[in-house]
């Protein structure tokens, strides 16, 4: 079963290599998606793939060195998976 999620991370998540580190973590998983900074200081992640892979990926982020920067995160299921090839850092 496939899963598609949107996660918002809050805390000290911009200017600390957060997006780059998330992309590095993503290389170990069979997922597609993106990560980007938002103007309000949060980071938005979108990920799609088999549910087990997406869950393991999100867990790996929370268990990485990034956990020190995350004060809060919220997750929402996306009804339509975004069309991505691979996992990318977005600059929009």
Query: Rounded to the nearest 10 degrees, how much is the dihedral formed by the CA atoms of 19, 76, 31, 50?
Result: 160
Active site residues: 19, 37
88: CB partners within 8 A, 6+ apart: 23, 33, 34, 35
**For residues 84 and 33, is the Cβ–Cβ distance under 8 A?**
yes
Q: Is 63 helix (H, G, I), strand (E, B) or coil?
A: coil
């Amino acid at each position: 079963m496939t899963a598609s999620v949107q996660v918002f991370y809050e805390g000290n998540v911009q200017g600390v290599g957060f997006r780059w580190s998330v992309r590095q973590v993503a290389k170990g998983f069979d997922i597609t998606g993106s990560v980007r900074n938002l103007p309000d200081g949060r980071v938005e992640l979108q990920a799609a793939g088999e549910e087990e892979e997406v869950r393991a990926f999100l867990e790996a982020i929370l268990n990485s060195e990034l956990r020190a920067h995350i004060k809060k995160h919220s997750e929402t299921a996306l009804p339509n998976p975004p069309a991505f090839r691979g996992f990318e850092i977005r600059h929009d």
